[in-house]
Amino acid sequence: MSEPLDVPPADPAEFLDQAERSLLELSIQANRADWIYCTFITPDTEELTSLAAARLMTAATDLAKRSSALRGRTRSPVDARKLELLRRSFTLIAPSGAGEAEELSRLSSAMQALYARGRYQPRGSPAPLDVQGLSRILETSRDPASLEEAWSGWHAIARPMRSDFTRYVELANRGARELDYPDLGALWRAKYDMPADDFAREAGRLWDQVRPLYRSLHAYVRRRLGARYGPELVPDTGPIPAFLLGNMWAQSWAGIYPLLAPDTEGPSWDLGAVLRERKTTPQELVRYGERFFLSLGFEPLPATFWERSMFVRPPGRDVVCHASAWDIDYADDLRLKMCLEISEEDFFVVHHELGHNFYQRAYARQPFLFRESAHDGFHEAIGDTIALSVTPEYLTAIGLLDATSGPTDDIPYLLRRALAKLAFLPFGLVVDEWRWRVFSGDVGPERYNRTWWEMRTERQGIAPPPGRSEADFDPGAKFHVASGTPYMRYFLAHILEFQFHRALVRAAGSSGPLHRATIHGSRAAGERLRSMLELGSRREWPDALEAATGERRMDAAALLEYFAPLQRWLDHENQGAPVGW
């Protein structure tokens, strides 16, 4: 096994060559251990993945520290880029104290295990339910008491996580400071090719662009829910109770679309029902996603993808069901992990996750330190961009809809999209804004939960059920907090996907409304997309953005163009009604 370098070679190129070989070997070992753990959770697999992650984290930290001595000593722009990425590529830096790297890795594994094993048995349920089962209640039930019970039951699983999270913050900050970052949040913000404080302002600028549209959507949803549940539960001017929004984290409101559908909605369609009627298997559902990429000119997924992926929950064992795309060996061992259901939602999820896999394959020929997206928001945005092309026109082209069964009115279609995409944006901000404040010390353990809900109310206009206190740890009921995964990538992706979509559909020759356009079948759009994907992180993200869109600044103008017909409709619907909370 490769060992960390005792002394960095005087030649930066030699140092980087040795560093990349060491990190590649250790990363593959960590990926294999983590795959086994996520698909078969036991105390033994938890220990093995913890040890492998600790080895990688220790080596990465050592190399990152040693690379600092070589910054400014190379005339090669490529090597200078590698040295910078080596210093800031990892989301967790091991502190150098005896046993601290191992402790930090164990804490991370333990919090994920708590999340994966979480169960709650609602009244009347024959057995305890995991987050998927409880989420179905939130999406389908219209009884406020049942909704509140399912919401509170799941959030209770995070209470034991608080002490581990508090210690994780302490150790993670210690590691970040050894790389001269003030805290872990500053390290995360430094990953965007700009100073950390500038990135925080950039995220705020993007939110300011879309906030008026979000407030219009919020006002419409609040009014419709108030008509359903009454002003005592949903006040005319206040925040909306989180447990009424059809999603465990109120990050998507698409689950309650039947309560919000326009009164004049035309014929409805149910993609999930179509797929189930056709007896679509999980593997066939994934094949739909692969064929989309094939239509753009990409090569088929390797045979090992179909042999090694986990498409459904295996019987009789605990697994991490959260959907994720894996690049085990940074070459061609691509995999998908999810507990797939034959539903409209998972049809979209498959297209999204395969976006990661095709991105991973596209940059696989780059040197190891460049085998990543231009920034983490790009990776998430690619899958989301493909999902935007899952339009009625696309579904008709592949035979899942006929020309007369799809939606004929733009507003119901756009409202469905907004409930998933637009409703997410403030939540996408809060998860990391809250952690930034925790990492910086601005929010201590005695105020974790109170601050979480203050920020969510301010940004999202939602409120928890009564009685939440510091005995609760509601942030930990979100997988990305339990797993220590930065979340700003999803906020950025929900901006970038529309920017990418607009550029690609124009490359495909479409001049119609953005929300109706699809790039399915367009080799020209595929070439434009591939030109960006193959760069990996070799160039700073404005260069990659320019390769795909011709623009060098992230911008929400394409999102606003996409939803412009909905904005006009919401303004009309909200006339005379309060907006804001």
Residue 121's alpha-carbon distances to 140, 161, 203, 255, 472, in angstroms, are 17, 20, 39, 22, 18
Catalytic residue among 155, 352, 379, 480: 480
Q: What secondary structure does DSSP assign to 400-445, as a single string?
A: SS-TTTS---HHHHHHHHHHHHTTTHHHHHHHHHHHHHHHHTSS-G
Identity (one letter) of the amino acid at 518?
T
47 an active-site residue?
A: no
The catalytic residue among 149, 353, 372, 433 is 353
Tokens of 458: 């301010």
Q: Which two tokens stand for residue 224?
A: 């419709």
Query: Among candidates 433, 49, 361, 394, which has minimal Cα distance to 204?
Result: 433
The beta strand positions in 199-280, using DSSP E, are: 240-241
d(C-alpha 3, C-alpha 219), whole Å: 57
What is the phi-psi region of residue 120: left when phi exceeds 0, alpha when psi lies from -120 to 50, beta otherwise?
Answer: beta
Dihedral in degrees, nearest 10, Cα atoms 408, 555, 242, 411: -10
**Which of these, 190, 219, 353, 350, lies nearest to 281 by C-alpha position?**
350
CB atoms within 10 A of CB 203: 21
Question: Is residue 136 within 8 Å of 149, Cβ to Cβ?
Answer: no
Per the annotation, the verdict on 155 as an active-site residue is: no
Residue ranges with strand state E in 186-280: 240-241
Give me the helix-helix angle, 12-39 and 43-67, nearest 10°.
Answer: 160
Q: Where in the sequence numbering do the catalytic residues fall?
A: 353, 480
